Chains A and B, each alone.
Chain A
């Protein structure tokens, strides 16, 4: 049985890579590799996972320099050289080893007004949204985000501008902008505009390239830019 040389980040913001030899197995994922290290080689290794099948978004790490879901990344695809380097996600504080603190990431969803804000009560009729309406199609294109943080980790602008809301929060805001039932769009537009919002995006498209769900946050951000410019020209963009 062949072995894989795996360098794993140990420590916090400062630390070092520690090397482990892991048996190579058929259909082995990077999460399998990390789990093997923790269960068989070093039980002090800290990492985060839950569902193992690409539904929860909690196992994202930097694998050979790229942010990925480790549960859906086969070693076959990334470890041809017989070597893997596994590090925590970029652009987030490291709690320990491979675990990052996602607080900033999710606080920015709240700051982008990513909460649904309805305007009806249980006594009102259900809203009828035609599945093929333009707004519903735009919402559909962006709605499958599970908040894994891969796009946020891949974004250069987040690294350069710590206040930047980031692709995931802006993508969430865009789905709500296209939700016919939501009543919070005026305040939402003000919250997502400007130097820390959608206008900070340089359209590098790393988020769209790396998103494991094939969502294009860049397109969502472009939609927000159009909507906020229209509001600013109307004089309808107060400070959020």
Chain B
């Protein structure tokens, strides 16, 4: 376990970012689930989804916001879960969850890019 810790201010801003992203997700998840239930006709496939959303700037903007909120929210929560469950704290943990954030953002924005083009 490393003793290098984020500054107190950074810790507080991370907590704030997680709460703010949770508020965004509360709306996005409801819209997302309602849209799935309403729109899916022939199973949940990439072709089905892209066929209905491709080229639609509004959906691209919505999912850009959704992905950004997930990429902020999930890794900060994971950081707390890993710390409390495995007593894993310090620089290595922070770098790991930053990698998770970048991976989630990359996967998510790749899907949004497919909607845009």
Given A195-B5, A239-B7, A228 contacting B84 (CB threshold 8 A) = no
Instruction: Indicate if the CB atoms of B9 and A232 lie closer than 8 Å.
Output: yes
A90 to chain B: closest CB distance in Å? 16
- Least CB separation from A164: chain B residue: B84
Given A160-B84, A195-B11, A229 contacting B5 (CB threshold 8 A) = no
B16 located at the interface, meaning its Cβ lies under 8 Å from any Cβ of chain A in the complex: yes
Docked Cα-Cα span, A239 to B9, in Å, equals 7
Residue from B6, B16, B84 in contact with A232 in the complex, judged by beta carbons closer than 8 Å: B16
Residues of A within 8 A of B16 (CB): 229, 232-233
Residue-wise interface mask of A (221-240) relative to B, using a CB-CB cutoff of 8 A (1 in contact, 0 not)? 00001001100110101111
A233 to chain B: closest CB distance in Å? 8
Residues of A within 8 A of B83 (CB): 161, 195
A199 located at the interface, meaning its Cβ lies under 8 Å from any Cβ of chain B in the complex: yes
Within 8 A of B (CB), among A190-240: 190, 193-195, 197, 199-200, 225, 228-229, 232-233, 235, 237-240
Residue-wise interface mask of B (6-28) relative to A, using a CB-CB cutoff of 8 A (1 in contact, 0 not)? 11110111011000000000000
- Secondary structure at the B interface, as helix, strand, loop or mixed, is helix
Docked Cα-Cα span, A239 to B10, in Å, equals 10
Instruction: Indicate if the CB atoms of A194 and B11 lie closer than 8 Å.
Output: yes
- Least CB separation from B12: chain A residue: A232
Docked Cα-Cα span, A190 to B12, in Å, equals 10
- Least CB separation from B8: chain A residue: A194
B22 to chain A: closest CB distance in Å? 13
B88 to chain A: closest CB distance in Å? 12
Instruction: Indicate if the CB atoms of A237 and B84 lie closer than 8 Å.
Output: no
* Central interface residue in A160, A228, A232, A233, by most chain B CB within 10 Å: A232
B2 to chain A: closest CB distance in Å? 14
Instruction: Indicate if the CB atoms of B84 and A190 lie closer than 8 Å.
Output: no
Residue from A161, A194, A199 in contact with B84 in the complex, judged by beta carbons closer than 8 Å: A161
Instruction: Indicate if the CB atoms of B84 and A240 lie closer than 8 Å.
Output: no
Docked Cα-Cα span, A233 to B9, in Å, equals 9
Residue from A200, A233, A235, A240 in contact with B8 in the complex, judged by beta carbons closer than 8 Å: A240
Binding site for A on B (CB under 8 A): 5-9, 11-13, 15-16, 80, 83-85, 89
Given A193-B11, A239-B8, 12 other A-B contacts at CB below 8 A? A190-B8, A193-B12, A194-B8, A195-B11, A195-B83, A199-B11, A229-B16, A237-B8, A237-B12, A238-B9, A239-B7, A240-B8
27 A-B pairs with CB atoms under 8 Å apart are A157-B84, A160-B84, A160-B85, A161-B84, A190-B8, A193-B8, A193-B11, A194-B12, A195-B6, A195-B11, A195-B83, A197-B8, A199-B11, A199-B12, A199-B15, A228-B12, A229-B12, A232-B12, A233-B13, A235-B9, A237-B8, A238-B8, A238-B9, A239-B7, A239-B8, A239-B9, A240-B8
